[in-house]
Amino acid sequence: MSSTSSPSYRCEGCGTSFTSLQELDQHKRQEHQK
pLDDT tens per residue across span 1-34: 455 556 589 998 889 999 999 999 999 999 877 6
Per-domain boundaries in the chain: 1-34
Q: Which residues contact 1 (CB under 8 A, 6 or more apart)?
A: none
The pTM (predicted TM-score) of the whole model is 0.62
Residue pair 17/10 in contact by the 8 Å Cβ criterion: yes
Q: Kindly report the number of other CB atoms within 10 A of residue 17's CB atom.
A: 15
Q: How far apart are CA 34 and CA 30, in angstroms?
A: 10
Whole-number pLDDT of residue 5: 59
What's the Cα-to-Cα distance from 6 to each of 16, 22, 28, 30, rounded to whole Å?
11, 17, 19, 23
Whole-number pLDDT of residue 34: 66
Whole-number pLDDT of residue 1: 45
